[in-house]
Amino acid sequence: MEIAVVPAALLVRTEDSGVDDHERPDSARIPEPMLTSAEVAAWLRVDVKTLRTYVRRRGLPCSRLGRDLRFQVAEVAQWLKRRKGTR
């Protein structure tokens, strides 16, 4: 399985104070944007139902907001690296 590259448009920050994150205390860091199920499904080139199966059966990390799922780019990328070569 090949690891897909995240489109740069999904990584744009909504706020930039000109201060590098490494200079900020943990509590002041701007959180990375979270992706919707549709965005991650498009990134992985799978159907949203398949993505939900990955969450339920294969341990794809996500956060739930009511019935909606949200995903952090770094966590999805790490999950992909762990799964590389397993089938």
CATH (domain of 68): 1.10.10
Residue 18 placed within a domain: no
Q: What is the pLDDT of residue 31?
A: 75
Helix axes 37-44, 48-58, angle to 10 degrees: 90
Q: Does 9 map to a domain?
A: no
**Residues of the domain holding 47:** 31-87
Mean pLDDT of 66-71: 94
Q: Is residue 23 part of a domain?
A: no
Instruction: Confirm whether 56 is domain-assigned.
Output: yes
- Smallest CA-to-CA distance from 70 within 37, 44, 41 is with 37
Helix 37-44 and helix 73-83, axial crossing angle in degrees, nearest 10: 40
Q: CA geometry: angle at 44 spanning 38 and 49, to 5°?
A: 50
Q: Is residue 63 part of a domain?
A: yes
Output the CA torsion sign for 13, 8, 53, 49.
Answer: positive
Structural domain tally of the chain?
1
Identify whether 71 is part of a domain. Answer: yes
14-62: per-residue pLDDT in tens? 455 555 556 666 666 677 889 999 999 999 999 999 999 999 999 999 9
